[in-house]
Amino acid sequence: MQFTDWIADARNIVFLVIALAMVGAAVMVVTSRNVIHAALMLVVALAGSAALFLMLGAEFVAWTMVLVYIGAVVVLFLFGIMITRAPTKADPVRLDHKHRWPALLVALGTFAAMATVTTLAFEDAALPDGVARAGDIGDVLFDRFVIPFEVVSFVLLAALIGGIVLARKDPE
Amino acid sequence: MVMLAAYSEGAAHLTDGGLLAQWAWLIPVVPLVLMFGIVFFGKRLPMKGWELAEAAMLFVAVYGVALLVMNASDGISYEGSVEIARIGSFTLEWGWVVDGLSIMMYAVVGVVGLAVFTYAKGYMKGDVRYTWFFAAFTMFAGAMLVLVSAPNLIQLVVGWELVGLASYLLIAHYWEDHANVVAGNKAFLVNKIADVGLFIGVIIIGVTVGSFRFSDILEAIADGDSALQQVAFWGGLALFIGAMGKSAQFPFHVWLPDAMAGPTPVSSLMHAATMVTAGVYLVGRMFPLFQTDGFAVDVKAIMMVVGALTLFLTGLIALVQDDIKKVLAYSTLSQLGYMVTAMGAGAYTAGLFHLFTHAFFKGLLFLCAGSVIHAVHSNNMSDMGGLRKAMPWTYRTFLIGSLALAGIFPLAGFWSKDEILASISYDSGHGGGTIATVVLGVAIAGAFITAFYMARAVYLTFFGEYKGHAHPHESPKVMTYPLIGLGVLSAVAGFANIPGIFTGFTQWLAARPQVMGDHHAESIDFVLAGIGLAVALLGIAAGTRLWKRDAATQQARDTFRIPVLYPVLANKYYLDDLYAKAVVDPIKGPIARFTNWTNTYVIDGVVNAFGAVSVFLSRIVYQGVDQRGIDLAFNAAASATGEAGDAVRYTTSGRIQQYAGGLFVGAVLLVVGFLIFT
Amino acid sequence: MIVNQFLVLAALLFSIGIYGVLVRRNAVLVLLSIELMLTAVNINLVAFGQYLQDALVSGQVFALFVITVAAAEVGIGLAIVILIFRNRSSANVDELDLLKW
């Protein structure tokens, strides 16, 4: 498929914009010299993924993403950053390793491998239009996937207790 | 005139054993269940858990003997199994085999176990971990029964490892003394090294046949499966290396004497019925693999030579030991050498018959030694002497055991040892060639040494003047009754198989669906029997000449100090030092380094060692190279692994991010490999 | 729209996340990078679910599970980071070499 054919679809223009924003934000997350900025850039990347979910007709996942991630997880991160007094000023020496090139090489290698595999596997396979299926998710979650659902709730409970126990100051 | 004939009975006249065989799964399960009973409730019971352990052994003994009696009238061959899990085409099964071989083992484990457990009640009295001891001891017996009842290699490996674990717990029972812990570790690690061989063998054979069940594997052998033929040598050799570890064959024998650190009942059971017999049992179970043309027949020669080396070299060490338990331990090694040699000579029945008789008299000897140690509070024969009068029953039973071990007519050892000699002699004329002839000579020399060191043990312990400081007294009845029981069995067990007159044992073992293709004596070979007996008597006479006169004096131990030879023997051919320097030291160090080494290089090391060991063995076989051969082989294998470990230890930096990077690099490489190869 | 555009984007985000995990010294930033990788996985899951038109909506359901587990992971991860920080006055992963031989 030619790029011109692809871009002719208006939705793909939207996709491209979101994708560029996400990649930019993601790069900022891993390179930013300010930890607070990095966390805020993560919000942008996650918001982008929520937008992609909407495009894919997964509006329930999208809103969960916004609520759980952007609402809760990022706030948690900000707390973590403050408690551990991570350097918020520009100080690349303390934030990054010296060995950036090997890491970049590994990352690019992984990307090349994954992109090659998916391109070989799916080529130009078209994606059906998304249909909102929040109701189906509810049905399936409490029917077919009820045991995993309960297990996950236990995982969360365990994490909750574990988090409290770990982070609590010793009584003495 | 040697009268032997190829033996090719087999599937004829077998019954399925009825209910008794169908319920035989209880044999391993009952001890294991009772083991948990001891762990959880033992301390609250009136006899602190001993009664459960004893009940377990009583059950196994009665069940085993009942099966034995039934098998004697009609051969039983039954195999039951329960599917546990199915992974693709591979089915994991728990099963139980009831056939001649396993029934013999059930009966031996049960009967010897019953005697030893009864005895242990008296011996372990007052021990701080009394209940725990019986839990571990019951597990030991139960694990052996799991191993014996296994219808497939997987369950056998499970039992095999459980036996190893239980033995580790029991050897290090007195863990307050660091040396005992070291002995437990040594037993565990040496066994583990050999177990790698077992695993490789199990995988090679199981994957090639497409099934881990003995019946399928033996059927494939009977059908002349060509795929299995190609790997049979290496698979068989790897299995045999596993067997060498458990059955403590040279050069893996070093763990067994140190295992004497455990309580004496443990030594007794370990040497008689469980643990060391496992290797011989495995070879017996897989016997057609080593016997059928086109399969691992070549391994037999290695087996014979390893057995002969073991029986001769360790027999000599027994001559210079002062610790009475170590004398017996080296004698066990030597007798195991006989069994393995017999297997190597293609004499399935003879090897297992010796296992059968040996179980009784060696169990007895250890219990007697325990009784003596109990009385004089020392393991050393230099602290004993003159105990004949103080401990009459111990003396009488020890004497019976010693004579049986020395192979004096008509006690048990005479018959089984004679059968082995006859088998080797037959083999030397039927394919075994010069090696078998040499091995026959070694085995006869071994008979002399056996009689010689047992005479020494008897004289130093029971004759002359008492040299210790305690006040020896006869042990309580709970300890002497098992001695008497085993003494009677040691005296009569040999009659179970008298060639040409009563071949009960041969028929018991014949109850297997597969043709074993072994050969065994059809009538008594009077010439060999005479030689064996004469040599044994000569050994006793020599022992009497040397030690009876000196038994009274402290000099007794020094009589045998032949220059050069004595220090070599007293230091056990310096093998322990060699292993310590060449194997242990290079790999010792921080735990992570060790783990790393184990993960990455044990396999290499073992493969190197396989190569080195087989090179070494063939050298012995063809050139008769001396002690240097093994030095070089082991040093090479050890330094190779050591250097390799040094080289890779820098990768374990502890840096999480390096590890993560490695993870992704590996993933990418997998993808690339996938793309290239598909 | 084609499937592959989502997959390639996800691969790109995942690789950026890997870069972050490998290169950041601060443990909190490493966790942030891990979140990026998890998001990439979620995009994959939802895209595949859409592509296969699965009656069970398993793609989205699993994305939800991943989000839940990720939330748990962040909670525990940050608790551990705080604990380490308290013990060693540093949250730098390269100073943590307890796994070293």
Is C11's Cβ below 8 Å from some Cβ in A? yes
Contact partners for chain C, using 3 or more CB pairs closer than 8 A, are A, B
> Where does the pLDDT of residue B7 fall: very low under 50, low under 70, confident under 90, or very high at 90 and above?
very low
Residue range A27-33: average pLDDT? 88
With an 8 Å Cβ cutoff, are C99 and B652 in contact?
yes
Residue C73 phi, psi (nearest 5): -60, -45
Contacts of B487 (CB under 8 A, 6+ apart): B364, B396, B397, B400, B401
Residue of C nearest to A123 (CA): C4
What pLDDT was estimated at residue B427? Answer: 81
Is residue A125 a part of any domain in this protein?
A: no
Is C12's Cβ below 8 Å from some Cβ in B? no
Nearest neighbour of A61 by CB, restricted to C15, C46, C82: C46
Q: Tell me whether the omega of the peptide bond preceding residue B586 falls within 30 degrees of 0, making it cis.
A: no
**Each residue's pLDDT tens digit, B572-628:** 666 666 666 665 555 555 555 555 555 556 655 665 666 566 556 655 555 544 445
* Euclidean distance between CA atoms B484 and B259, whole angstroms: 26
Is A116's Cβ below 8 Å from some Cβ in B? yes
* Euclidean distance between CA atoms C1 and C91, whole angstroms: 43
Range of the domain at B526: 9-570
Other residues' Cβ atoms within 10 Å of the Cβ of residue B594: 14
Residue of B nearest to C22 (CA): B657
Is residue B612 a part of any domain in this protein?
A: no
**Each residue's pLDDT tens digit, C17-31:** 999 998 888 888 889
Is residue A96 a part of any domain in this protein?
A: no
In sign, the C-alpha dihedral spanning B23, B28, B33, B35 is positive
Q: Going along B171-216, which residue ranges are E strands?
A: none
Q: What percent of chain A has pLDDT over 70?
A: 91
Final residue before a domain boundary, out of A34, A56, A89 = A89
Instruction: Give the A window 130-169 contacts with C, CB below 8 Å.
Output: 130, 133, 136-137, 140-141, 144-145, 148, 152, 155-156, 158-160, 162-164, 166-167, 169
Q: Which residues in B lie closer than 8 A to residue C21 (C-beta atoms)? A: 657, 660
Does residue B353 carry a pLDDT above 60? yes
Name the residue with higher pLDDT: B292 or B358. B358
What pLDDT was estimated at residue A45? Answer: 92
Name the residue with higher pLDDT: C9 or B89. C9
Other residues' Cβ atoms within 10 Å of the Cβ of residue B80: 19
Give how far B666 is from chain C: nearest CA, Å: 14
Residue range C2-13: average pLDDT? 92
- Contact pairs from chain A to chain B, CB under 8 Å: 26
Give how far B601 is from chain A: nearest CA, Å: 27
What's the Cα-to-Cα distance from B356 to each of B104, B352, B363, B518, rounded to whole Å?
8, 6, 11, 17
Is C100's Cβ below 8 Å from some Cβ in B? yes
> Where does the pLDDT of residue A24 fall: very low under 50, low under 70, confident under 90, or very high at 90 and above?
very high
What pLDDT was estimated at residue B179? Answer: 85
Which range, of A128-132, B7-11, B642-646, averages the lowest pLDDT? B7-11
Is residue A116 a part of any domain in this protein?
A: no
**Each residue's pLDDT tens digit, B281-309:** 998 888 888 887 777 778 888 888 888 88
Is residue B463 a part of any domain in this protein?
A: yes
This prediction's pTM: 0.65
Contact partners for chain A, using 3 or more CB pairs closer than 8 A, are B, C
Q: State the total domains in chain B.
A: 1
In sign, the C-alpha dihedral spanning B482, B487, B492, B494 is positive
Q: Which residues in B lie closer than 8 A to residue A97 (C-beta atoms)? A: 657
Q: What percent of chain B has pLDDT over 70?
A: 82
Give how far B640 is from chain C: nearest CA, Å: 20
In sign, the C-alpha dihedral spanning B174, B177, B178, B180 is negative
Name the residue ranges covered by the structural domains of chain C.
3-94
Give how far A110 is from chain B: nearest CA, Å: 6
The encoded tokens of residue B660 equal 């993560």
Name the residue with higher pLDDT: B195 or C99. B195
Q: State the total domains in chain A.
A: 2
Q: Is B465 helix (H, G, I), strand (E, B) or coil?
A: coil
Interface test with chain A among B653, B663, B671, B674, by most A beta carbons within 10 Å: B671
What pLDDT was estimated at residue B1? Answer: 26
Which helix (H) or strand (E) is B544 found in, with range?
Answer: none
What's the Cα-to-Cα distance from B19 to each of B58, B512, C58, rounded to whole Å?
19, 18, 51
A72 and A148 part of one domain: no
Is residue A146 a part of any domain in this protein?
A: yes
Contact B274, B163 (CB under 8 A): yes
Which range, of B162-171, B533-542, B603-612, averages the lowest pLDDT? B603-612
The rounded mean pLDDT for chain B is 81
Is A24's Cβ below 8 Å from some Cβ in C? no
In sign, the C-alpha dihedral spanning B458, B463, B468, B470 is positive
Final residue before a domain boundary, out of A89, A113, A145 = A89
Does residue B11 carry a pLDDT above 60? no
Q: Which residues in A lie closer than 8 A to residue C35 (C-beta atoms)? A: 42, 46, 69, 73
A82 and A136 part of one domain: no
Give how far B652 is from chain C: nearest CA, Å: 6
Residue range A97-126: average pLDDT? 87
Residues linked to residue B86 through DSSP beta bridges, in sequence order: B91
What pLDDT was estimated at residue A93? Answer: 56
**Each residue's pLDDT tens digit, A87-96:** 655 555 566 7
With an 8 Å Cβ cutoff, are B664 and A102 in contact?
no
Give how far C52 is from chain B: nearest CA, Å: 24
Is C94's Cβ below 8 Å from some Cβ in B? yes
Give the residue ranges of DSSP H helices in B463-552: 477-492, 504-510, 526-543
Interfacial residues of B (vs C; Cβ cutoff 8 Å) = 590-593, 596, 649, 652-657, 659-661, 664
Is residue B194 a part of any domain in this protein?
A: yes
A74 and A154 part of one domain: no
> Where does the pLDDT of residue C99 fall: very low under 50, low under 70, confident under 90, or very high at 90 and above?
low
**Each residue's pLDDT tens digit, C53-98:** 888 888 899 999 999 999 899 888 888 888 888 877 777 777 776 6
Name the residue with higher pLDDT: B160 or B623. B160
Residue B411 phi, psi (nearest 5): -75, 170
Q: What percent of chain C has pLDDT over 70?
A: 94
Is residue B672 a part of any domain in this protein?
A: no
Residue range A7-12: average pLDDT? 84
Residue range B230-258: average pLDDT? 87
> Where does the pLDDT of residue B4 fall: very low under 50, low under 70, confident under 90, or very high at 90 and above?
very low
Nearest neighbour of C11 by CB, restricted to A52, A65, A118: A118
Does residue B60 carry a pLDDT above 90? yes
Q: Which residues in B lie closer than 8 A to residue C23 (C-beta atoms)? A: 657
Is residue A164 a part of any domain in this protein?
A: yes
What pLDDT was estimated at residue B626? Answer: 47
The rounded mean pLDDT for chain A is 85
Q: Is B591 helix (H, G, I), strand (E, B) or coil?
A: helix
What pLDDT was estimated at residue B147? Answer: 92
- Contact pairs from chain B to chain C, CB under 8 Å: 37
What pLDDT was estimated at residue B620? Answer: 56
Is A104's Cβ below 8 Å from some Cβ in B? no
Which helix (H) or strand (E) is C39 found in, with range?
Answer: helix C27-52
Give the residue ranges of DSSP H helices in B379-503: 387-390, 392-406, 412-429, 433-462, 477-492
Q: Which residues in A lie closer than 8 A to residue B675 (C-beta atoms)? A: 116-117, 120
In sign, the C-alpha dihedral spanning A49, A54, A55, A58 is positive
Give how far C36 is from chain A: nearest CA, Å: 7
Is residue A72 a part of any domain in this protein?
A: yes
Is residue A33 a part of any domain in this protein?
A: yes
Give how far A145 is from chain C: nearest CA, Å: 8
Q: Which residues in B lie closer than 8 A to residue A103 (C-beta atoms)? A: 657, 661
Which range, of B4-18, B26-40, B178-192, averages the lowest pLDDT? B4-18
* CATH no. for C3-94: 1.10.287.3510
Range of the domain at A136: 132-172
Instruction: Give the A window 1-20 contacts with C, CB below 8 Å.
Output: 1, 6, 9, 11-12, 15, 19
A76 and A136 part of one domain: no
Residue range B427-449: average pLDDT? 83
A84 and A148 part of one domain: no
With an 8 Å Cβ cutoff, are C1 and A148 in contact?
no
Final residue before a domain boundary, out of A89, A123, A149 = A89
- ipTM score of complex: 0.88
With an 8 Å Cβ cutoff, are C67 and A114 in contact?
no
Contact B245, B191 (CB under 8 A): yes
Is residue A97 a part of any domain in this protein?
A: no
CA A47 to chain centre: 9
Instruction: Give the C window 22-51 contacts with B, CB below 8 Å.
Output: 22-23, 30
Residues linked to residue C26 through DSSP beta bridges, in sequence order: C92
Is C13's Cβ below 8 Å from some Cβ in A? yes
- State the residue for tokens 């057609």: B288
* Euclidean distance between CA atoms B68 and B64, whole angstroms: 6
> Where does the pLDDT of residue C36 fall: very low under 50, low under 70, confident under 90, or very high at 90 and above?
very high
Q: Which of B283, B286, B336 is nearest to B308 (CA)?
A: B336
Nearest neighbour of A126 by CB, restricted to C2, C47, C86: C2
Name the residue with higher pLDDT: B566 or B641. B641
> Where does the pLDDT of residue B519 fall: very low under 50, low under 70, confident under 90, or very high at 90 and above?
low
Instruction: Give the C window 38-97 contacts with A, CB below 8 Å.
Output: 39, 42-43, 46-47, 49-51, 53, 56-61, 63-65, 67-76, 78-83, 85-86, 91-92, 94
With an 8 Å Cβ cutoff, are B672 and A113 in contact?
yes
